[in-house]
């Protein structure tokens, strides 16, 4: 299961835009506006998929990735991701209790979140994303992969959305 936008996408016509992200990453928070703009621009012509790439330097990132998968399982994946990214400083300070707190704020089953973080039911998804990211050369977040082209936003986000749109427009033409 991949975290995708909830809008229906025609698999035959869809362009997939993978967004390699980490929920404790300030650069990923900055990239939220780009992600929103891409979703608005392409609607059902493109599928934006959140791919997990927790970085070792952020000690709560792996748990946050698992929490995002639990939010997806409960029907509010992107909403949860945006809520956590919008408050990365709180995640830094509070850790896993903050992840459960945000779930409750969004009306999700916070108790189930807590259980999911303890039992590790989403670890394999996060591990698989991270392994795939490493295999294709992802080194930081955010990184986009559009029509086979990797764009690293972890180094600089200047002009990044424009480059994503240029590739996507060409692929959808």
Task: Assign residue 149 the CATH number of its domain.
Answer: 3.40.30.10
pLDDT of 11:
53
**Residue 78 contacts residue 3 (beta carbons within 8 Å):** yes
Answer whether residue 1 is part of any domain.
Answer: no
CA distance 21 to 30: 11
Query: Residues 90-124: pLDDT tens digits?
Result: 999 999 999 999 999 999 999 999 999 999 999 99
Answer whether residue 36 is part of any domain.
Answer: yes
Q: Which domain holds residue 44?
A: 16-172
- Confidence band for 12, pLDDT divided at 50, 70 and 90: low
Total residues belonging to the chain: 173
Say whether pLDDT at 28 is over 70: yes
Greatest alpha-carbon pair distance for the chain in Å reads 46
pLDDT of 3:
55
Q: Identify the CA nearest to 120 among candidates 161, 172, 168, 62.
A: 62
Q: Identify the CA nearest to 57 among candidates 12, 98, 80, 27.
A: 27
Give the count of domains, the chain: 1
Answer whether residue 102 is part of any domain.
Answer: yes
Answer whether residue 65 is part of any domain.
Answer: yes
Query: Residues 140-165: pLDDT tens digits?
Result: 999 999 999 999 876 677 788 899 99
Answer whether residue 117 is part of any domain.
Answer: yes
Tell me what the pLDDT averaged over the chain comes to. 89
- Confidence band for 73, pLDDT divided at 50, 70 and 90: very high
**Residue 125 contacts residue 133 (beta carbons within 8 Å):** no
Say whether pLDDT at 59 is over 70: yes
Q: Identify the CA nearest to 1 among candidates 114, 129, 141.
A: 129
Answer whether residue 55 is part of any domain.
Answer: yes
Answer whether residue 164 is part of any domain.
Answer: yes
Answer whether residue 162 is part of any domain.
Answer: yes
Q: What DSSP state is assigned to residue 100?
A: H
Q: What DSSP state is assigned to residue 157?
A: -
Torsion angle, CA of 80/84/86/91, rounded to 10 degrees?
Answer: 170
- Confidence band for 5, pLDDT divided at 50, 70 and 90: very low
The DSSP result for 1-50, as a single string, is: --EE-SS---TTTPEEEEEEE-TT-HHHHHHHHHHHHHHHHHGGGEEEEE
Angle 79-85-151 (CA atoms, 0-180°, nearest 5)?
100
């Amino acid at each position: 299961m991949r975290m995708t936008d909830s809008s229906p996408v025609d698999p035959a016509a869809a362009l997939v835009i993978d967004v390699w992200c980490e929920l404790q990453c300030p650069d990923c928070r900055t990239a939220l506006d780009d992600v929103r703009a891409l979703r608005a621009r392409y609607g059902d012509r493109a599928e934006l998929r959140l791919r997990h790439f927790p970085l070792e330097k952020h000690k709560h990132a792996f748990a946050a990735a698992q929490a995002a998968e639990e939010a997806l399982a409960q029907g509010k994946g992107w909403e949860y991701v945006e809520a956590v990214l919008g408050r990365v400083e709180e995640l830094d300070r509070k850790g896993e209790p903050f992840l459960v707190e945000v779930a409750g704020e969004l009306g999700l089953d916070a108790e189930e979140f807590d259980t999911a973080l303890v039992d590790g039911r989403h670890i394999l998804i996060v591990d698989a994303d991270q392994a795939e990211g490493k295999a294709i050369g992802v080194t930081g977040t955010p990184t986009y992969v559009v029509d086979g082209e990797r764009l690293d936003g972890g180094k600089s986000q200047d002009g990044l959305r424009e480059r994503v749109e240029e590739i996507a427009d060409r692929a959808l033409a």
